[in-house]
Structure 1
């Protein structure tokens, strides 16, 4: 697996992340902090469906795709489950709204259910493209959805200006992206009920795991409803969404590039090749995630004020750093440290670790929120994510070793430190200044890596130049 292939996935995720940041900025400004809080709670409700039901089914597809004898039947069976769950939950949300049993603002729950259903189908299509190593199709699905969200979302805010309408617009964006992707690739014909025990044996523990993960990642929104005004919930949610749509995308892009190949090597019984790929994955991951975390901790506060307005100019001083660290730790855990446990199908073991970290996170949030406000929620989230990462690290060592050369780690540390010093020393204002700071930081980091010859960078560049006609 080459660095070029990893960068292809990262580039797709980065472009879609930039588009998502643009849409987030437009949504926060268009809705305002209080209405954005209702939108964020709708997203939290949708995330419950996508996290607990859709993600385990997609993960099952990724894990079982390597068995070519089961591939067609697994795809059909899982697609039927995705469509069935999505349709059933939409009906349930409509009934709850009709009975007045929804805990959200009017019509937010049905709109959130529709978004969860359409997002689930889109995620299934993306996972299938990734498992089949269809890089172009993978990028197409993500980028079309990101562009459609901006166009439909902005139009909806101007016409209707409400959280339910915006959630419906995002559902339409998912439908546009996935339109035609099923044809010739998916079919409900071949759905095999006899696969249910095999699928349930892997997916059911993951559903428990994902529910606990949902409490860890989204429980802060529900606690904030009871401890802070809606405007503060809106500010916290906007910042948390910004970090998730940037930093976690780096981790997920790397996972998309490496996980299918590790699964295929493991499924073929090639344990040494799986270990080699996993070790190589670690090298690439640390070289991208560490500078991203350091750089974003410097840039989040000025970026929030510029993107979201002056209401975000007086943030608690430690809030941006806490949210950045929580996003990075959570992304590394989910897309790197959990990989060995998923390969070994130790999903109940994984669930136990997430239960521990989720409980710790919610307890700490409940204690810290009345004392530290929205920063307290970020503190509890970071502590829970860190505990979960340590647990996965310890439990997964018996499956795959976490190997990273000391010279490579030292090189990344030095380059990140030099980049961080540059960001601290030079702080121009405005959008142009923010963009220039970012580009300069990337250039500094790349040059230091080149000077220190990280991972044989000079030889790789020289070889690429020799192959160029």
Structure 2
């Protein structure tokens, strides 16, 4: 319904605003080396999360509808929660050894704080995924907004009073998620059916469907976060910090919007796939249009006004990040587009094919990083991601679209490109950060909405 759409959009918008506000706050208190340590631990614990829980959580959402029809959704949730917590706990030890090997010594307290943050955030994500599957948009919105505001406020206060360490960033993120998670437990209980017990059949089904997707999630990590490891190996933590700032800006402006769109639309697509499968390709094609409308303009805006964006959002020690922002924006946008083109494969549980596509693109990224990072530093790392994004989109277009042809509304997509061109021309002469970025957004947003409004109405009609 349109109400759910509004809730998701407001939630995503507020989450992105608070996330953007965090970046200038953190980078004005933490030096590049300290921020580099934080992001390196974040990348390592994310890899552990990829191996230990991402595949479980993703498949659990896909299987939720099957188990809900049988009145066993509570057993699926309990089984998935126990599986990911157990596997994560074991793998975190290996992750610390990896971190010490690839870089200068990383504080044990920072790593422990990061590990606990991943354990809590993955349990929280499993909970919110279930609420999304049940289309409880209000509960999801309350949880996300609560955690975002608490993390912003807690981190800011902590930095002001002198807790200026990488570990502190993880601690306040963990506290925010714990409070938000506690607030939605009653809603979760009302969404699950059957006894909350460890179910062997559910565990077998999660493993059977999910294990072939592990290479998919590992490949995704190598596509987006492994660059920090290569920079730590060939350069230093300061380079990791500067690169991570540029990547963070790209993620907040592009990936964050894409994830918000996925949260809004994916449950509706799953329901249409189950009830009226013939309508699904057209809906995914509309999905691609809305992704383009939401993210193409911001990606181009980041590239065009890169120096203004960096000056506005981060501290002066990180200005070198502007040099790689266009490459980061291009790579991030292309990887996101490939993910939407691959939705038909995910509906069919073709995780082996998805894994092959992602691993192939990740291999390109690794090869480019091994060649370019020793020679060009952070520019080489960013170029590797952009090159991998190009490969991933080409392969996705050839493989995934052949399996399920998508009727993409190309005329509307062309309108989005035209809107981006107009916004660029109008804002190009402006050099001050706020006017340049503000004018681009004011011109682009209404134009993009007009050309994609039919797609938004279609998702609202299907309950997104």
Name the TM-score class by shorter chain. 0.7 to 0.9
Residue in structure 2 matched with residue 290 of structure 1 by the alignment: 296
Q: In 2, distance between residues paired with 1:256 and 1:21?
A: 19
How many residue pairs match? The answer is: 446
Partner Cα distance (2:342, 2:142) in 1 = 27
Q: Secondary structure at the match of 1:130?
A: helix
Task: Tell me the residue number matched to 1:340.
Answer: 344
Give the CA deviation at 1:7: 5.5
Query: What TM-score, normalized by structure 1, do the two folds share?
Result: 0.87
Partners of 2:84 and 2:156 in 1: how far apart?
A: 29
Q: Which residue of 160, 170, 173 maps to 2:173?
A: 170
Is the counterpart of residue 19 in structure 1 residue 18 in structure 2?
A: yes
Structure-1 separation of matches of 2:198 and 2:216 = 26
Within 1, Cα distance between the matches of 2:108 and 2:165? 10
| Structure 1 pair 222–327 and aligned structure 2 pair: CA distance change class (3 A) | same
What is the RMSD computed on CA atoms of the aligned residues?
2.7
State whether structure 2 residue 231 is matched by structure 1 residue 224.
yes
Instruction: List runs of 5+ in structure 2 lacking aligned partners.
Output: 458-464
What does residue 382 of structure 1 align with?
386
- CA gap of 1:455–1:143, structure 2 versus 1, over 3 A, is closer
SS at match of 1:183: helix
Instruction: Write the distance in 2 (CA, Å) between the matches of 1:125 and 1:218.
Output: 25
Contact 1:279 1:403 (8 Å CA) reproduced: yes
CA–CA separation in structure 2 for the residues paired with 1:77 and 1:196: 8
Quick one: distance in 2 between partners of 1:252 and 1:232? Answer: 27
- Counterpart residue number, 2:462: none
| Aligned pairs (5 A) from 1:279-358 | 279-315=285-321, 317=323, 319-334=324-339, 336-358=340-362
Out of 85, 108, 111, which is 1:109 matched to? 111
Q: Distance in 2 between matches of 1:344 and 1:194?
A: 21
2-structure distance, mates of 1:138, 1:56: 21
Q: Is the 8 A contact 1:97 1:107 kept in 2?
A: no
Alignment of 1:5-404 (within 5 A): 6=5, 8-67=7-66, 69-70=68-69, 73-86=72-85, 89-90=88-89, 93=92, 104-157=106-159, 158-183=161-186, 185-186=188-189, 189-268=196-275, 270-315=276-321, 317=323, 319-334=324-339, 336-404=340-408
| Aligned counterparts, 1:401-416, within 5 A | 401-416=405-420
Structure 2 CA distance for aligned equivalents of residues 295 and 13 of structure 1: 20
Residues 396 and 81 of structure 1: CA distance in aligned 2, closer, same or farther (over 3 Å): same
Structure 1 residues 439 and 76 mapped into 2: Cα distance closer, same or farther (>3 Å)?
Answer: farther
Secondary structure of the structure 2 residue equivalent to 1:133:
coil
Q: Distance in 2 between the 1:70 and 1:154 partners?
A: 45
Q: 1:425 aligns to what SS in structure 2?
A: coil
| Alpha-carbon distance change, 322 to 7 in structure 1, aligned in 2, over 3 angstroms | farther
Report the secondary structure of 2:185's partner residue.
coil
Give the C-alpha shift of residue 455 in structure 1.
5.3
Match 1:419 to one of 423, 429, 438: 423
Q: Determine the C-alpha separation between the residues in 2 that align with 1:203 and 1:456.
A: 36
Relative contact order higher in (CA < 8 Å, ≥ 6 apart): 2
Q: Distance in 2 between matches of 1:220 and 1:408?
A: 35
List alignment gaps of at least 5 residues for structure 1.
Answer: 461-469
Cα deviation for residue 126 of structure 1 reads 1.6
Shift of 1:424: 1.1
Q: How many angstroms does 1:365 deviate by?
A: 0.9
Query: Would the aligned equivalents of 2:289 and 2:412 in 1 still touch at CA under 8 Å?
Result: yes
Q: 1:424 & 1:72 partners in 2: Cα distance?
A: 57
Change (3 A) 1:219 1:91: closer
Quick check: 1:291–1:416 contact (8 Å CA) kept in 2?
yes
TM-score, structure 2 as length reference: 0.88
Which residue number in structure 2 is paired with residue 466 of structure 1? Answer: none
Q: How far apart are the structure 2 equivalents of 1:448 and 1:184? A: 38
Pair 80,282 (structure 1): closer, same or farther in 2 beyond 3 Å: same
Alpha-carbon deviation of 1:217? 1.4
Alpha-carbon contact 2:239-2:378 (below 8 Å) kept: yes
Q: Distance in 2 between matches of 1:14 and 1:272?
A: 32
How much does 1:130 deviate?
Answer: 1.2
Secondary structure at 1:145's aligned position in 2? helix
